Amino acid sequence: MSDKSHDPNQMTGAAMIVRALIDHGVTDIFGYPGGAVLPIYDEIFQQSEVQHILVRHEQGAGHAAEGYARSTGKPGVALVTSGPGATNMVTPLTDALMDSIPLVCISGQVPTHLIGNDAFQECDTVGITRPCTKHNWLVRDVNDLAKVLHEAFYVATTGRPGPVLVDVPKDVQFATGTYHPPRKSDVHRSYAPRVKGDATQIRKAVSLLAGAKRPVIYSGGGVINSGPEATKLLRELVEVTGFPITSTLMGLGAYPASGKNWLGMLGMHGTYEANMTMHDCDVMLCVGARFDDRITGRVDAFSPNSKKIHIDIDPSSINKNIRVDVPIIGDCGNVLGDILQVFKAEAKKPDIKSWWQQIAQWRARNSLYYKKSNDIILPQHAIQSLFEATRGKDTYITTEVGQHQMWAAQFFGFEEPHRWMTSGGLGTMGYGLPAAVGVQVAHPDSLVIDIAGDASVQMTMQEMSTAVQYELPIKIFILNNQYMGMVRQWQQLLHGNRLSHSYSEALPDFVKLAEAYGAVGLQVHKPADLDGAIKEMISVKRPVLFDCRVAALENCFPMIPSGKAHNEMLLPEQANDEATAKAFAGGKALV
Amino acid sequence: MNQPASAYFIEERHDPNETHTLAVLVQNEPGVLARVIGLFSGRGYNIESLTVSETEAQKHLSRITIVTTGTPMVIAQIKHQLDRMIPVYQVVDMTQTRRSIERELAMVKVRGQGEHRVESLRLADAFRARVIDATTESFVFEITGNTDKINQFIDLMRPLGLVEVSRTGVAAIGRGPEGM
């Protein structure tokens, strides 16, 4: 019998998990202990290479890991216990799946022999998380654990990134087996994402681009996921072609907001010029976006006269909502590189001067107009002031979900990718605060601000305690209008102004709440005090809850009303009662 | 189009539905069938028939044959969605290749006496169904064929004393020398 006691690859399942984290370059994880993960926590206690951030609720761990991943391009890691620990992860896993964020979740499970027995804190974790992960695994044998962990990291970070979950029963954590470092054969042979685009399709795309009279580039989160090279190439393509560019909510920052070809965000609350350009274009190049319903408006009236090129690494994104003419399956960076190469060799910059003139006319409509006030802070003004105050600083922005999120997207200019963390696909209220925790862990010296709403922020408020514990100086900038603003906006526009349960009754005193957590609370009511208060918030090197009292009934415009096309936007100056009633026709009594 | 008050763009699609038979080669591991079925229920796709069995034990490969209906865009989505699942090796649209054979097996229990009993036996003969169990007042027929043929046989047995049917669902394979 060979003596295995000195083999360094012989270890317990719990030790393997920590070892695999180290082997994958993980330095920070977010988690919450419990019965079914105690062996792993015991291993974490006895080492110093992986820092564990203790959250206050597992959902916080998931969103923090998402923020970490989104701001670094590395996978985020969460560790949770069985049962409620795992079910609390369902929201962040789904959020990460919708927004293609690489997340590795390790969950504890009851011992193998108790699975299926309705044991204490047992749930069917792989069953529950199957539809909200890219893939998941239940590991029943400690000798499979290393392979599964390595595969989990590979699957999460390659192809279209996404969340994965590895469920590890407690007896497997205790059992001793053989560990091996990551190797190629750890991955399913059936998993091979396509990276390189088809050459014929790329030629077709280039010839469409070269012949375009009214082109537009529409980019999405896929460009950011693809990495810094894709961002560089996208910018180069805009430069070489001279085309206008717009982007989805997830894609902000890939092209700089200060760039001369930038049209602003498109979609339901996008700019008039971006949506009109999309509607009237003759060639559309979609890079790493998925024609989501918030982008397209009414699909049968979506950009009716254009040839559409779609670059996506996920074949299931192609022709899902909108039929495209030239699909190119591959990694955005890779395909953009090939397109650029062919374009530079064979085509020249098309003359689109008259198209730019047209765009200038749309731009002149000034669709983000709002009326400033000296008495009351307009939420748009608050975002603009925040943006001005952070210019030139090393800033990361997260958001919750609702009106404040749309205003942030409209009024905060992003110059670089990975600086904007928001819940796009799932629209998770409560995302921003824990995401900011994750971002600050990854970037301890940067300025991390969660642009929040008074309703959203209360969903994961408990993570303030995490921020205080780890001295993470996150700034929670609450646009407090005492409403679930977006819900109210829809009720005003579509449900006869019956404001059913959208008023934030019994709001806490956010300043006192901050102080109760050991953080700093600031409150501002008057426009004249805003800049000073923001300055103070930035200079404080502690977590801050900033209660910015804004105009309560301000609504978010411009807007594509439901069932309407891009060229039927409702602009702010038109958003009076009559026009609104007409736009949301159907004989509804409106505001 | 009068749109109800909704944050979503509600519209009906009127493309005609098509029926397709898909052969899906998967790694035979725990949960793989649940993944495939969950995809169909989760995304609102139809399953008309589903057949699954391990086909290459040594390589742990299973083959799932799914008959589904949808618009051409939905059928394309289903194939892509299946194909991107981690344990799925290959998805082949047996309907699109137009060179495939589909078969189903059914066991049909018929109870009756006198002329009905004789007639059921005569029809079984015409359909090349075999008798695999008999009592003085019943038969169990085994019949293979495509779905239409089996449906037709079952319809004919109904007035003759049909008691019970058990069907395997569709299995499909391509014609010619090449494999999948």
DSSP secondary structure of chain B: ----S-SS------PPPEEEEEEEEEE--TTHHHHHHHHHHHTT---SEEEEEEEETTTTEEEEEEEEEE-HHHHHHHHHHHHTSTTEEEEEEHHHH--EEEEEEEEEEEE--THHHHHHHHHHHHTTPEEEEEETTEEEEEEEE-HHHHHHHHHHHGGGTEEEEEE---EEEESSS---
Percent of chain B whose pLDDT exceeds 90: 87
Same domain, B87 and B159: no
User: Which is nearest to A367 in space by CA: A272, A244, A267, A261?
Assistant: A272
**Yes or no, beta carbons of B31 and A138 under 8 Å apart:** yes
Same domain, B93 and B107: no
Interface check for B59 against chain A (CB to CB < 8 A): the answer is: no
Tens of pLDDT, residues A490-540? 999 889 999 999 999 999 999 999 999 999 999 999 999 999 999 999 999
How far apart (Å, rounded) are the C-alpha atoms in residues A298 and B169? 39
Sign (positive or negative) of CA dihedral B46, B51, B52, B55: negative
Same domain, B84 and B72: yes
The chain A residue lying nearest B81, using CA atoms, is A316
**Yes or no, beta carbons of B6 and A494 under 8 Å apart:** yes
Interface check for B7 against chain A (CB to CB < 8 A): the answer is: yes
A520: how many CB neighbours lie within 10 A of its CB?
19
Residue recorded with tokens 């206050």:
A56
Inter-axis angle of helices A199-210 and A332-346, nearest 10: 60
Q: What is the pLDDT of residue A578?
A: 67
Same domain, B110 and B70: no
Identify the CATH class of A10-186: alpha beta
**Yes or no, beta carbons of B5 and A588 under 8 Å apart:** yes
Q: What is the pLDDT of residue B99?
A: 85
Cβ pair A491, B6 in contact under 8 A: no
Q: What is the pLDDT of residue A297?
A: 87
N-to-C CA span, chain A? 83
Tens of pLDDT, residues B52-107? 999 999 999 999 999 999 999 999 999 999 999 999 999 999 998 768 999 999 99
Sign (positive or negative) of CA dihedral A491, A496, A499, A500: negative
**Yes or no, beta carbons of A319 and B30 under 8 Å apart:** no
CA distance B49 to chain A (A): 22
Percent of chain A whose pLDDT exceeds 70: 96
Of B45, B74, B98, which one is at a domain's C-terminal end? B98
| Position B116 in a domain | yes
Percent of chain B whose pLDDT exceeds 70: 92
Q: What is the pLDDT of residue B7?
A: 64
CA distance A54 to chain B (A): 32
How far apart (Å, rounded) are the C-alpha atoms in residues A478 and A228? 31
Inter-axis angle of helices A58-72 and A432-442, nearest 10: 50
How far apart (Å, rounded) are the C-alpha atoms in residues B111 and B158? 10
Tens of pLDDT, residues A86-101? 999 999 999 999 999 9
Q: What is the pLDDT of residue A1?
A: 47
How far apart (Å, rounded) are the C-alpha atoms in residues A411 and A546? 19
Tens of pLDDT, residues A125-174? 999 999 999 999 999 999 999 999 999 999 999 999 999 999 999 999 99
Q: What is the mean pLDDT of residues A58-68?
A: 98
Q: Which residues lie below 8 Å from residue A164, measured CB to CB, with a gap of 6+? A: A103, A104, A105, A133, A134, A135, A136, A137, A152, A155, A156
Same domain, B85 and B123: no
- Total structural domains within chain B: 2
| Position B7 in a domain | no
Same domain, B113 and B128: yes
Same domain, B86 and B68: yes
| Touching B: A residues 286-305, CB under 8 Å | 293, 296-300
**Yes or no, beta carbons of B42 and A131 under 8 Å apart:** yes
Q: What is the pLDDT of residue B112?
A: 95
Interface check for A533 against chain B (CB to CB < 8 A): the answer is: no
Banded pLDDT at A206 (limits 50, 70, 90): very high
Banded pLDDT at B179 (limits 50, 70, 90): confident
Which are the catalytic amino acids of A? 58, 120-121, 170, 486
Q: Pairing state of beta strands A262-265 and A245-247?
A: parallel
Cβ pair A471, A539 in contact under 8 A: no
> Residue B56 sits in a domain of what CATH number?
3.30.70.260
Interface check for A323 against chain B (CB to CB < 8 A): the answer is: yes
Q: Chain A partners of B83 at a C-beta cutoff of 8 Å?
A: 315-316
How far apart (Å, rounded) are the C-alpha atoms in residues B1 and A547? 43
**Yes or no, beta carbons of B27 and A188 under 8 Å apart:** yes
> Residue B117 sits in a domain of what CATH number?
3.30.70.1150
Q: What is the pLDDT of residue A532?
A: 98
Same domain, B129 and B170: yes
Percent of chain A whose pLDDT exceeds 90: 92
Q: What is the pLDDT of residue B96?
A: 85
Interface check for B41 against chain A (CB to CB < 8 A): the answer is: no
Interface check for B12 against chain A (CB to CB < 8 A): the answer is: no
Residue recorded with tokens 């449906």:
B151
CATH ID of A199-363, from 3.40.140.10, 2.40.440.10, 3.40.50.12140, 3.40.50.1220: 3.40.50.1220
Tens of pLDDT, residues A470-487? 999 999 999 999 999 999
**Yes or no, beta carbons of A319 and B8 under 8 Å apart:** no
Same domain, B84 and B115: no
Q: What is the pLDDT of residue B97?
A: 75
**Yes or no, beta carbons of A130 and B11 under 8 Å apart:** no
Better-scored residue on pLDDT, A331 or A571? A331
Q: What is the pLDDT of residue A588?
A: 41
Same domain, B81 and B134: no
- Give yes or no for residue B3 having a pLDDT over 90: no
Q: What is the pLDDT of residue A574?
A: 76
> For residue A558, is the peptide bond before it cis, meaning its omega torsion is within 30 degrees of 0?
yes
| Position B6 in a domain | no
Inter-chain CB pairs, A–B, below 8 Å: 77
Q: What is the mean pLDDT of residues A450-466?
A: 98
Q: What is the pLDDT of residue B1?
A: 44
Mean pLDDT for chain A overall: 95
| Position B158 in a domain | yes
Tens of pLDDT, residues B11-21? 666 788 999 99
Cross-strand pairs, A246 = A218
Cβ pair A430, A460 in contact under 8 A: yes
Q: What is the pLDDT of residue A131?
A: 97
| Position B10 in a domain | no
Q: Answer yes or no: same fold for A10-186 and A379-549.
A: yes
Banded pLDDT at A573 (limits 50, 70, 90): confident
| Touching A: B residues 114-143, CB under 8 Å | none
User: Which is nearest to B65 in space by CA: B36, B18, B23, B105?
Assistant: B23
For residue B170, the enclosing domain spans: 101-174
Interface test with A, best of B2, B3, B45 (most A CBs within 10 A): B3
Tens of pLDDT, residues A22-48? 999 999 999 999 999 999 999 999 999
Of B80, B98, B116, which one is at a domain's C-terminal end? B98
Instruction: Tell me which architecture the domain covering A379-549 has in CATH.
Output: 3-Layer(aba) Sandwich (3.40)
Q: What is the mean pLDDT of residues A548-568?
A: 92
Q: Chain A partners of B8 at a C-beta cutoff of 8 Å?
A: 293, 562
Q: In chain A, where are the structural domains located? A: 10-186, 199-363, 379-549
Banded pLDDT at A327 (limits 50, 70, 90): very high
**Yes or no, beta carbons of B9 and A131 under 8 Å apart:** no
| Position B179 in a domain | no
Same domain, B85 and B120: no
CA distance A507 to chain B (A): 27
Same domain, B30 and B61: yes
Of B44, B79, B98, which one is at a domain's C-terminal end? B98
- Give yes or no for residue A590 having a pLDDT over 60: no
Nearest to B9 among A138, A155, A299 (CB): A299
